[in-house]
A and B are shown apart, each in its own frame.
Chain A
Amino acid sequence: MVSTVYAITLTCIGLIIAVFYFVIVNSKEAEADYQSVTKKWYGFRSKWFLFLITLGITITFLSLNPFPLPDQKKEYSSSEYQVVTVDGHQWYWNIAPVTIKAGQPVEFQVSAADVNHGFGIYDENLKLVAQTQAMPGYTNKLIHTFDKPGKFKILCLEYCGLAHHAMISELTVE
């Protein structure tokens, strides 16, 4: 997912650079008749607009089906889900239990005791695999299944004061 998004971004930025380059190198020679320019490119603009709208509808439909966030009203059964409670404090995490099994979905019940924190799960290559906000007064349910065993890091992803960057904890997946 991450590398696809990055590749799409680089490609699109590259294409926009190419369009600007084309226009700039074709800017010095003047075409006296601006109307012929507008006629041609207004025509193309309608197609460009329709393309973007179609693209938008397609992406919206594909990316929201199924809805990518866990249902917060659902009661996740303890037989099916491992439950991990997470409490963010300035500046440490209270996580219980800290060891879980691979292959079975985990329900993280994430809250905060003082200010807003961000609960970010990083794998051994320091890639972010899942996150949710930890908010005072709320318990966010984050569902994630770990495919492989390993040592995961928990990093704070919401600025929470002077030792925000030191709010690192560990989660073991067996």
Chain B
Amino acid sequence: MSAAETSGKIEYSDSVNRNALIAVKAHLIAGLLVFLLMMLGGLTMRAAQGTWLEIGADLFYQIMTVHGVGVVGAAVIASTGVQWYFLRQYVRLSNGIFWTNFIIFLTGVVMILGSIFVGKYGGAWTFLYPLPAISMGAWSNGAAALFQLGVLIIGVGLLILYLDFGRAILARYGSLARALGLTQLFGKEPVDYKHPAAVVASTMVLIVNFLGIAAGAVVLVMGLINLYYPEFKPDALLMKNLIYFFGHVIINATIYASVIAVYELLPRFTGRPWKTNKPFYAAWFAIVFMVMGVYPHHLMMDFPMPSWALIAAQILSFGSGIPVMVVTGYGALMIVYRSGIKWSTTAKLLVLSMFGWGAGVVPAILDAMITVNRTFHNTLWVPGHFHFYLLIGLLPMIIGFTYYLTGEGDSKEETKTVDNLGFYAYLIGAFMTSMVFLASGANSIPRRWAAHLPEWVGYAQVGTVAASLVVIGMLFFIVRALVSLPGASNPR
């Protein structure tokens, strides 16, 4: 097969393309709206911890539950939109299946919202066994079951979509190994610098998410059985392993799906190609294993875990920072350096995402060291590192892509004041939010506490101000997306 055959673009009819663009916009708008609501939830929780708002512990933990599951859901649905938009250019994907997943997702969202705000389920998004079944009367088994069924059904929708990804990738490339670039990496085929990064990244996401969601389905079903047959008592540590494998993989994969936007778009703004090459393939091949192998770093304070698993998790966690530090983040900086780039809001957001991802690696890999984890685990250090990844890494990729779809990136006009306002409010707010969490973690403040001790209230108050800025910035982005996105034609 020639290089053109592996990297050439797929042709669709105009009507299919129009429908596909509507579907992608629907994913982005749904994702961004959910993100905004979850940010309001986050702001509410910080204000309550800062004693500026009085809410009951039951409502706090319901908000905490919806915040966790909502952010993961929004990240998944929006990043899927980004990924699908680019992947379909290289392999023939079905609009019908993409929409099917979207509808299933919305159904799951309704079930989850019902379980939390009608059924009062407040067992956290991690549904850590056996908490869903033992709430001391705070919620019913029915509410816990509805929550877990909602998550399960969303997983089923995603599996259907990934089957389509797998079918289409295999139809074009013959094997997942070839799509990942392994035949080039190991010298069986000459290196094709135009082999699409979107295909490599999507194949990685497909593999890890398929396994992650399968593990999630197993643990959800076991949890559901336990709800109605309490004599069925699975091992608590096994359940933890399955839950964290699922949870870690699915949220981590969103950033690997969304980074496709950076690979595809930065070259357009800089006029420089992002060539795939052997280090690129090697990095993505390693990521497949690292994303799945690092999850025991959530279980370092579970002392009965085999020590080899914790040691492997520590080493792999350090290793998983290397691809972004050496390949993706580094490559982005090289492309931008002396490129003459026009700093549209789209470009700013994409470069910001590289910063957020790269800088977020630091607190993450430190906390994934067993010796550090002993005094950082389950403190606010943990939300500190993942808010870095999500607010400053993932979301700027998604919002940057949304801006690109509105045509902002290619516009000859100067950046609008509203976009600048939104960008800087968001940037300062997101950075502050993450840094306040890290400072709180360094001061041993526990995570997931509805009411903070008086010594900790000051941190929560600064965090509240920071979260308000994030919400303001996000409001600008959302208004821009709602006004400009629906009518925008596909950028060329």
Binding site for B on A (CB under 8 A): 1-3, 5-6, 8-9, 12-13, 16-17, 19-20, 23-24, 26-31, 34, 37-38, 41, 45, 48-49, 52-53, 56, 59-60, 63-64, 67-70, 72, 90-91, 114-116, 118, 120, 122, 126-133, 135-138, 140-142, 155-166
Q: Is the CB of A69 within 8 A of B307?
A: yes
Nearest chain-A residue to B322 (Cβ)?
A52
**Which of B58, B341, B376 touches A162 (beta carbons < 8 Å)?**
B58
Chain A residues near B304 (CB-CB < 8 A): 72, 135, 138, 140
Q: Is the CB of A13 within 8 A of B362?
A: yes
27 A-B pairs whose Cβ atoms sit less than 8 Å apart in the complex? A5-B366, A23-B333, A24-B351, A26-B337, A28-B341, A30-B339, A34-B272, A41-B334, A48-B326, A52-B326, A63-B371, A69-B310, A72-B303, A90-B136, A116-B131, A118-B301, A133-B303, A135-B236, A135-B302, A137-B236, A138-B237, A140-B303, A140-B304, A141-B303, A159-B61, A161-B123, A161-B134
Rounded to whole Å, the gap between the CB of B12 and the closest CB of chain A is 32
Q: Is the CB of B314 within 8 A of A162?
A: no
**Is B444 among interface residues, defined by CB-CB distance under 8 A?**
yes
Q: Is the CB of A162 within 8 A of B61?
A: yes
**Which of A26, A41, A90, A127 touches B444 (beta carbons < 8 Å)?**
A127
Q: Is the CB of A132 within 8 A of B375?
A: no
**Is B379 among interface residues, defined by CB-CB distance under 8 A?**
yes
What is the CA–CA distance of A29 and B340 in the complex, to the nearest angstrom? Answer: 5
Rounded to whole Å, the gap between the CB of B131 and the closest CB of chain A is 5
What is the CA–CA distance of A75 and B333 in the complex, to the nearest angstrom? Answer: 54
**Which of A2, A29, A56, A133 touches B338 (beta carbons < 8 Å)?**
A29
Per-residue CB contact flags for chain B residues 261-282 toward chain A (1 = under 8 Å, else 0) read: 0000000000010000001000
Per-residue CB contact flags for chain B residues 291-329 toward chain A (1 = under 8 Å, else 0) read: 000000000111110010011001100110010011000
Q: A45-B326, A130-B375 are in contact. List 4 more A-B contacts (CB 8 A).
A: A8-B362, A30-B340, A126-B443, A155-B446
Nearest chain-B residue to A136 (Cβ)?
B236
Q: Is the CB of A68 within 8 A of B337?
A: no
**Which of B130, B322, B370, B448 touches A68 (beta carbons < 8 Å)?**
B370
Q: Is the CB of A12 within 8 A of B362?
A: yes
Q: Is the CB of A129 within 8 A of B375?
A: yes
Q: Give the total number of A-B pairs whose CB atoms are below 8 A apart.
A: 215
Chain A residues near B156 (CB-CB < 8 A): none
**Is B242 among interface residues, defined by CB-CB distance under 8 A?**
no
User: Chain A interface: which of B252-260, B404-412, B450-458, B466-474?
Assistant: B450-458
**Is B235 among interface residues, defined by CB-CB distance under 8 A?**
yes
**Is B173 among interface residues, defined by CB-CB distance under 8 A?**
no
Nearest chain-B residue to A139 (Cβ)?
B304
Nearest chain-A residue to B442 (Cβ)?
A6
What is the CA–CA distance of A68 and B359 in the complex, to the nearest angstrom? Answer: 26
**Which of B131, B279, B333, B372 touches A161 (beta carbons < 8 Å)?**
B131
Chain B residues near A159 (CB-CB < 8 A): 61, 124, 126, 128, 131, 448
User: In this complex, which of A45, A115, A136, A141 has the most chain B Cβ atoms within 10 angstroms of its Cβ?
Assistant: A115
Q: Is the CB of B128 within 8 A of A115?
A: yes
What is the CA–CA distance of A67 and B305 in the complex, to the nearest angstrom? Answer: 13
What is the CA–CA distance of A23 and B347 in the complex, to the nearest angstrom? Answer: 14
**Is B88 among interface residues, defined by CB-CB distance under 8 A?**
no
User: In this complex, which of A3, A29, A59 has the most chain B Cβ atoms within 10 angstroms of its Cβ?
Assistant: A59
Rounded to whole Å, the gap between the CB of B428 and the closest CB of chain A is 13
Q: Is the CB of B444 within 8 A of A60?
A: no
**Which of A17, A59, A114, A120 touches B446 (beta carbons < 8 Å)?**
A120
**Which of A19, A64, A157 touches B311 (beta carbons < 8 Å)?**
A64
Q: Is the CB of A5 within 8 A of B376?
A: yes
**Is B122 among interface residues, defined by CB-CB distance under 8 A?**
yes
User: In this complex, which of B61, B339, B450 has the most chain A Cβ atoms within 10 angstroms of its Cβ?
Assistant: B339
